[in-house]
Amino acid sequence: MATNAAPTAPVCSAPMKATSNGAFQKENPLDFALPLLIVQIILVVSFTRLLAFLLRPLRQPRVIAEIIGGILLGPSALGRYQKFLDIIFPKKSMTVLDTLANIGLLYFLFLVGLELDIRAIRRTGTNSLIIAVAGISLPFILGIGASVVLRSTVNKGVSNIVFLVFMGVALSITAFPVLARILAELKLLTTDVGRIAMSAAAVNDVVAWILLALAIALSGSDSSYLVSVWVLLCGTAFIVFSIFVLKPVLSVMARRSPEGEPVKELYICITLSIVLAAGLITDIIGIHALFGAFVVGIIIPKDGPFAGVLIEKIEDLVSGLFLPLYFASSGLKTNVATIEGSQSWGLLVLVIFTACFGKIVGTVVLAMLFKVPFIEALALGVLMNTKGLVELIVLNIGKDRKVLNDQTFAILVLMALFTTFITTPIVMAVYKPARKGKPYKNRKIQRQDLDSELRLLACFHSTRNIPTLINLIESSRGTRKKGQLCIYAMHLMELSERSSAISMIHKARKNGLPFWNKKPGDQNQMVIAFEAYQQLRSVVIRPMTAISPLNSIHEDICTSADRKRAALIIMPFHKHQRVDGTMESLGHSFHLVNQRVLRHAPCSVGILVDRGLGGTTQVVASEVSYSVVVPFFGSQDDREALAYGMRMAEHPGIKLTLLKFTPKPETALNPPKADMGAESKKDNEIFSEFLNLSQSSESVKHEAIAMGSREDVIAALRSMSNSTLFLVGRTSPAMPLSDRSSDCPELGHVGSYLASSDFSTTSSILVIQQYDPSINAMEKPLDDINEASNKTMSNGV
């Protein structure tokens, strides 16, 4: 009896379970979602970080390593081995991977919105605005031509208008976060090119998102344009709702989170939930969940600690773990092997040429119309051609919406990678801004013309250093009517790999080097402290900000000192005093910053060991009562310290004591140096000036101390241990004063002893190195300088 066989239904693979029972239960953990996801995350993060390390000498942004890493993990390289894909990235795991990657991307776009200040865009100058429009318009127009060619060759069967918009956005976009990091890495943020590029890129970023929303609305599966109109209208309604409903709610939470108090956990939870809800709404509308998160980030108030705490809570997890997954997800869709044959490679060259030509030529022409020099205009055009994460988002949305096929997608990904990769080397080759200022003579405190203006560059890491700095400035201002004091107060900020480093870059202002905030109503506590002091005293104070990696921030300091014609750079010591009196290091990187400044400084340098000079608050002039001690052994650094002390002695609240050490006659000295007579003459000259000052002022005195051993030096210094401040020459010709070897050669022997907790817990120390125009003393190894100072004394002294 014959039977009719029933048609077999297609067999779907069972969904992956979350966790396994373990290898001992004879189960492969990689067949389960959670263990496999952990392996994928570890592999992606490790691989991209390794590539970032390898590309660091080329000064490439990390996004380059992440894009390359994603491509290499995909079918273009490792993914060519099917077994690798089946084990590590099986198709049944891609839904989980893509979902987690998109959640990370959702919060990353929220961070981007947090860091984008609409008020700053409103203040963008006309020139920057027009340059930004030109940098968008010309590539967009050229993208029309490129889209026609691609659509007729490799991307057939797609709606012409939708493909045109996607191509226009892909070619005209500028990656604002990537551009900001490149500018900071190349130290161009403070230049005219950097300022214009930042302003134009911010405008470009907002316009690109608007164009992308339009492209997504047009790319729906329904061919009716009425649906696209409804999508755009609903998207507009969502933005209006966010501004008039969500923003007041977020503003209330921001106002209830004042400075100095922790932000409530409830507020953080509500905000992060609002981000998800906004993403859901925009996804329902049909313009992608990313837009909702981006809009919420933009409308959050930027004043106060609320926005900063939000960034701090989520940035490391999002940018460190989740975001690389998105690059991996994108790389798994990119198959460079689809670009084969002369036609495909010719199209790749065409797209790259169109993108570069449109951006660079459009920007250069408009910039030159505004009288920007050609070299600067060219550098600006290359910088505006930077692509990044937003570019990948555009391309992935286009691929998911079936607007871009595999070959077009691969071509555009390689275009984004190439244009970003060439940015740094081309800008470094064509644009080399002058780092040095005009020559000037007053590069040290000791000078012939005492009525000339004294300029100091005072650096600090945090608010902890500010009271001591202001009290030191108050003590230094003297009483001369002509010889006023001008202070450049520089806040040193580390540019890290974190995304919130971009929010620090927003501190870049239109004037000053590196930056001086002139925006009215700014609530920066550091700026307020210095400006309040400036209004009370006849001292010019200009707050500045240096934002750089710690391994190169000394270049910002030295360049600023040279261009501002400073006579002294004051650097904070890399250790601060704890409550129990011991010194705690801020980190070895800060230690190296001070050593590099000493080597490369264009003027004198002082390292301030802060033990609360004048207490933890600013002291008014009438209450200043400091005892300042200058140990004088005889050297150019000692002369500089004494010159500074003599200027401080002009303040009525300062008592200056000079401890003049001279070797006992029976002390055996090393053979005298050839220039010892000249040095001794200079020592006698400044000592004569000091004696004249002491005769006219009762607050100035000196003690002559004969030394035969280091115990004599220690006893003399200990007798003054209750003093407020010690001014010490760095290369004072004294022997080590401690049996323990010092780990701080930049302080010299005397400074190291005074800075130890064995000596005092109340006396601050300023260790001074005088600028030497005859030899570049700053280039000499620090230990060599200390060894040289030893040779001027015998083994016993």
Decide if 460 is inside a domain.
yes
Decide if 4 is inside a domain.
no
Q: Assess whether 597 and 638 both reside in one domain.
A: no
Q: Are the beta carbons of 196 and 131 closer than 8 angstroms?
A: yes
Q: Assess whether 161 and 201 both reside in one domain.
A: yes
Q: What is the pLDDT of residues 144-203, one digit of tens each?
A: 888 888 888 887 777 778 888 888 888 888 888 788 778 877 888 767 788 788 888 888
* CA torsion, ordered 779, 781, 783, 788, to nearest 10 deg: -60
Quick one: pLDDT at residue 423? 92
Residue 776, CA distances (Å) to 151, 602, 771, 779 in order: 63, 9, 8, 6
C-alpha neighbours within 13 Å on the C-beta side of residue 484 = 10
Q: Assess whether 494 and 631 both reside in one domain.
A: no
Q: Assess whether 530 and 596 both reside in one domain.
A: yes
Decide if 468 is inside a domain.
yes
At 512, the pLDDT band (50, 70, 90 cuts) reads very low
Decide if 10 is inside a domain.
no
The three-state secondary structure class of 663 is strand
**Mean local confidence (pLDDT), 424-445:** 82
> CA 504, CA 493: separation in Å to the nearest integer?
8
CATH number for the domain that contains residue 467? 3.40.50.620
Quick one: pLDDT at residue 527? 60
Q: Assess whether 35 and 107 both reside in one domain.
A: yes
Decide if 14 is inside a domain.
no
Q: Assess whether 498 and 386 both reside in one domain.
A: no
Q: Assess whether 33 and 90 both reside in one domain.
A: yes
Quick one: pLDDT at residue 621? 54
Written in H, E and C, the secondary structure of 474-521 is HHHCCCCCCCCEEEEEEEEEECCCCCCHHHHHCCCCCECCCCECCCCC
Q: Which residue has the tokens 């006309």?
A: 126
3-state helix, strand, coil in the chain (%, to 5): 55, 10, 30
**Mean local confidence (pLDDT), 403-426:** 92
- Split into its structural domains, the chain has a count of 3
**Mean local confidence (pLDDT), 335-348:** 90
Q: What is the pLDDT of residues 51-85, one digit of tens each?
A: 999 998 888 888 899 999 999 999 998 988 899 99
Structure-token pair, residue 7: 């048609």
Closest CA to 389 of 339, 343, 438, 330: 330
Domain that holds residue 41: 23-224+306-430
Q: What is the pLDDT of residues 513-542, one digit of tens each?
A: 333 333 333 345 566 666 666 655 667 788
Spatial CB neighbours of 520, under 8 Å, sequence gap ≥ 6:
none
Q: Assess whether 413 and 475 both reside in one domain.
A: no
Decide if 442 is inside a domain.
no
Closest CA to 635 of 682, 668, 600, 593: 682
At 493, the pLDDT band (50, 70, 90 cuts) reads confident
Q: Assess whether 556 and 653 both reside in one domain.
A: no
CATH number for the domain that contains residue 394? 1.20.1530.20
Average pLDDT, the chain: 82
Share of the chain above pLDDT 90, in %: 30
**Mean local confidence (pLDDT), 111-115:** 84
Q: Are the beta carbons of 76 and 334 closer than 8 angstroms?
A: yes
pLDDT for 7 beyond 60: no
Decide if 132 is inside a domain.
yes
Quick one: pLDDT at residue 739? 64
Q: What is the pLDDT of residues 584-640, one digit of tens each?
A: 888 888 999 999 999 999 999 999 998 887 665 555 555 678 889 999 988 889 999
Least confident segment among 608-612, 692-696, 730-734, 765-769? 730-734
Share of the chain above pLDDT 70, in %: 83
Q: Are the beta carbons of 35 and 19 closer than 8 angstroms?
A: yes
Residues 660-688: b if buried by 16+ CB within 10 A, e if exposed: bbebeeeeeeeeeeeeeeebeebbeebbe
Q: Assess whether 373 and 484 both reside in one domain.
A: no
Q: Assess whether 651 and 571 both reside in one domain.
A: no
The model carries a pTM of 0.77
Decide if 271 is inside a domain.
no
Residues 527-561: b if buried by 16+ CB within 10 A, e if exposed: bebbbebbeeeebebbbbbbbbebeebbbbbbbbb
- Please spell the DSSP secondary structure of 247-287, one letter per residue: HHHHHHHHHTS-TTSPPPHHHHHHHHHHHHHHHHHHHHHTS
Quick one: pLDDT at residue 288? 87
Q: Assess whether 606 and 644 both reside in one domain.
A: no
> CA 491, CA 718: separation in Å to the nearest integer?
34
* Domain-terminating residue out of 369, 396, 430: 430
